[in-house]
A and B are shown apart, each in its own frame.
Chain A
Amino acid sequence: AQSVTQLGSHVSVSEGALVLLRCNYSSSVPPYLFWYVQYPNQGLQLLLKYTTGATLVKGINGFEAEFKKSETSFHLTKPSAHMSDAAEYFCAVSLFSGANNLFFGTGTRLTVIP
């Protein structure tokens, strides 16, 4: 079975500080990995994804994530937080490209302190 664990349901950072949101997965085979962002009262928007190839993935809004197979991790980072980054972030895993098998973590709410 596959599952996703996001450490920390709430993370607060100061504006300009490093953002680090943690995601670990369990899977019997190498997965596809995704980070989504949800702004208040909106749907989910894809930040970045890892499918194959380079393990360091760059996404929108200056975010990036690194797939580390040995650590079963896919942590999301951004060098300098901006007020507009305040949102909820979801890590998700899929074993294949097919239907039905996108599994989400419970989410991390990011607060940016001015």
Chain B
Amino acid sequence: NAGVTQTPKFQVLKTGQSMTLQCAQDMNHNSMYWYRQDPGMGLRLIYYSASEGTTDKGEVPNGYNVSRLNKREFSLRLESAAPSQTSVYFCASNLVQGASYEQYFGPGTRLTVT
């Protein structure tokens, strides 16, 4: 199993450009999440999808949109990138049942907006 995969690994955008970050998991998890990580601030939840067909806002959703394409894939879109969106983005997933509550993380996408 590859676990949680993210593409691309690195991206540089100019202010106002758009892009989509891709995330896929092969663990048959029902919930998926997008976080951003900034120095000194830990990880903050942007959006999540509790199950296929549903999405909800997290702590910092402004400037982002998401799509739960199917059970495996959860994408994050920046419609008009801003320098404040320079960050490392992590996708995560979990099963949300049984005794396994932890989230599994992808390797991250390092995004710079100039």
Contacts and interface: CB of A to CB of B under 8 A. Distances in A.
B101 A43 contact: no
Interface string A41-75: 11111100101000000000000000000000000
Place the interface of chain A in its size category.
Answer: 20 to 34
B50 A98 contact: yes
Give the bracket for the number of chain B residues in contact with chain A: 20 to 34
Main secondary structure of the interface of B (DSSP, over half): strand
B102 A46 contact: yes
A102 B48 CA distance: 11
Interface in A1-54: 4, 9, 32, 34, 36, 41-46, 49, 51
Contacts of A102: 33, 45, 103
A100 B42 contact: no
Interface of A: 4, 9, 32, 34, 36, 41-46, 49, 51, 90, 94, 97-100, 102, 104-107
